[in-house]
Every structure is written in structure tokens, then in C-alpha cells.
Amino acid sequence: MRRLGLGHRIGQPAEGTGGPNHPPPKPDLVSGCRLRHSDAVSDPLPDPGAPSPEKPKRRPRYAGKHPRRFEEKYKEHNPERYAGDIAKVLASGKTPAGMHRPIMVTEILEVLAPRPGETAVDCTLGYGGHSREILPRLAPGGRLIGLDVDPIEHPKTTARLRAAGFGEEVFTAVRSNFAGLPKVLADLGLGGADAILADLGVSSMQLDDPARGFTFKTDSPLDLRLNPSRPPSAEDWLARVSTDALAEALVANADEPHAALLARELTRRRSATPFTRTVQLADAIRAILSEHTPRPDAEAANDTVRRVFQALRIAVNDEFGVLDLFLRHLPHCLNPGGRVAILTFHSGEDRRVKQAFRDGVRSGLYARTNEEVVRAGPAERRANPRSSSAKLRWAIRAV
């Protein structure tokens, strides 16, 4: 049994379930998709990836016995039809292609304690894993607003939730950056929410899809945007950033120990060949380490590549800028006694959330927050390695 510090006990840990370089956020940047009126609609976009009912899609051809490439994994992309195969992938500790496993569901439900008739906001809808658990607990009479900046995955998740029986009256889909939460609530005529969740960062669908440019395991355009229609892409950002600003971003966004070396060498090399592809950038980082550091080690080099990609992703999506703004708005978006839970995945995020919640308790905006961070239990970490770095913090709005 573990304690969340809320005075309740949780039964078992959840099984198989989740700087300075940033300019101050501009009003339209902050709202991400600019919160145009047309964005704040239920079910805003048709799903371009959905198979047409008249023309069933052909199974992709692939070499060998099992599909290896993301887009070839047709069974994993079709979990309703191939439930047995999905169960096997999940049991092996992997996340099926095109899916995301929600993290620390039990702990989040205990913290948010959604009740019938309440209003909840999932600020990072993703695959909808947390929302699917919260929604039934709000019935009868309650409602969940599901936000996400991603124009590709958000409509797919909306369609899945509708197909699962969550109609307009209980689930409102809004494509928006969570930094625009006050406007989203105002547009919906809501004064505040009783429960707010933010599960920060990227989903497995985004990370694993080579077309999104988040992964360096396959050769893809160097993009890394949560909303690919909003500039800059990582390619454009890396083409223009100064050596000093790049070094700063590598430290602030990823605690990269080789920040100065990488910033100097990457900005030198880009004048000969601009970085446009994920594998090209990953290879350049490995080459820099092997030329300039003693005893380069392949695993350590891959860790450096991962950190550089994380730093670029945070920079192009202005992740710290929008998180700071969201944390400032948050207490004013909660009803008295309302609960907020935030899952973070690295120290830059966790520091901000911890500080904002503590400052809120000191100023009387929040009644309580957790002193000790809550982590996924060992069973969940084993079943879903992506949960290992997750940290949960919560706060309760003063009455």
C-alpha cells in the first residue's frame, strides 16, 4: 500500500496502465492553435486517417514474417479488430503502434476524485486513456472537456470516445493549447472546473509515428511539432538558433552535459549542410561525440541524442512558456475545492509544477499540495517502462 498524502489509501498500484531561451509567450503562441472560434468546437476536424467504410484498406506489404515499420503494423493500428494481438503486445511491456497507455491511472483517479455531476478538464487528451476512466465517474449529469493541440490525433481520439458512447452532452472536444484554458472555459460558459488533469509531453502515438519526426530510430523530416501547422519546425529552429541560445536550450531543457560542445559543432556543421532529417542529426551528434570526447560509448551517445531531441522538442513547442502560463491561470480555472493533477516527465517540468503549487499554498489559492512526489509503482514500471520517469503532483483549490 502506498500513500498519496491525501489521507486516502490506494489499493494496488496501477497495472499496465502511462529558460531562458524561451521568449515570453506571445498571446497567439500561448493559445497554440490561436483558439480561433472554429477550433473550440466539438469534433472539429474530419479524421483524414480513418478508413472509408466503402473501400476497406489493403493490408500493407512487408518483408519477413512480422511487420516492423510503424505504418505496416496493421493489427496494432486496429485494436478493436485484433484485441488478442494487442493484448500480447501489451503483455510484452510494449505499447502497440498508434496507441498510448495512460500512466498512474489509479493514483490520478484518487487525487481527482471525479464525482457525478462534476465538470472535469483533461488538458492533454492524447489517446484518451485517462478521460475514458474519468468520464463514467462524472455520470449522471457531469461533463468532461478534452483539450489537445495535436490536429492529427485529437480528432481520432474524439471519434474513438464517441464510438465508445460518450456523446456531446458528456464529452466536449476542444483543439487548443492548455495555456488557453481560461478562454476555453469562458467560451463554454463555464466559471471553473472541479477536476483538471495535465499529462505533459508527448504521446506514444506521436513519438512512434516516423512522419512526426519525434523519433531518430527511423529517417524522418526533423519536425518535432505537436501541432505541425505551427512554425517553427525543429529544422527551421535549428537552422536559425545562435550557438549560445542552443547551448542554453540544451542545458535548460535536457540537462545536457555536452551542451557547449554540441552547440558549437552543430552550428558550425549546419553552415555546410543544414539539418533536415532526424537520422542525419542523430548521426552528426554521435560523430561530434566520437571526435571530441574520450572513450565514446554507443549507449551514452544515444542518451545524448535523446536529450538533444528532447531539448529541441521543448524549444519548438515552447513547452516551458505554455506550462508557466497554464500554472498561473490554473487556480483561477478551478472551482472552490477543485482538484488538479499534473504528470511530468523531466526535471524542468517538475520544478515548475512543484514551485507553482507551493507558492499557491503560501498565497492561500490552494488549500493543499503533496510534499512528496508520487511515482508509478514497480508493477506499472515493469509493465510500461514509459511510466518510470513520471512524477505526479496535485493541489486542491482553497474553498
Ligand X SMILES: C[S@@+](CC[C@H](N)C(=O)[O-])C[C@H]1O[C@@H](n2cnc3c(N)ncnc32)[C@H](O)[C@@H]1O
Q: How far is the CB of 250 from ligand X (least distance, A)?
A: 20
CA distances to 125, 374, 393 from 110, in Å: 19, 12, 12
Cβ contact 130:153 at 8 Å: no
Q: Which is nearer to ligand X, 221 or 296 (CB)?
A: 221
Q: Which is nearer to ligand X, 123 or 266 (CB)?
A: 123
Nearer to ligand X, 138 or 289 (CB): 138
Residue placing its CB nearer to ligand X in the complex, 126 or 213 = 126
Chain centroid, CA 93 distance in Å: 20
Q: Are strands 366-369 and 143-148 parallel, antiparallel or unpaired?
A: unpaired
CA–CA separation, 16 vs 216, rounded Å?
26
Q: Which residues bind ligand X (CB under 6 A)?
A: 32, 100, 102, 123-124, 126-130, 147-150, 153, 177-179, 199, 201-203, 226, 322
Query: Please, which residue, 150 or 209, has the CB nearer to ligand X?
Result: 150
Q: Cα separation of 352 and 322, whole Å?
A: 11
Least gap, CB of 326 to ligand X (angstroms): 7
Report in angstroms how near the CB of residue 362 gets to ligand X at its nearest: 26
- Smallest gap from Cβ 127 to ligand X, in A, equals 3
CB of 153 to ligand X, least distance (A): 6
Cβ 79 to ligand X, closest distance in Å?
A: 13
Cα angle 67, 61, 202; round to 5:
50
The full 3-state SS of 99-125, as one line of letters, equals CCCCCCHHHHHHHHCCCCCCEEEECCC
Nine cell digits for residue 209: 509515428
* DSSP letter, residue 233: P
Q: Judged by CB, which is closer to ligand X: 174, or 247?
A: 174
C-alpha cell of residue 322: 505554455
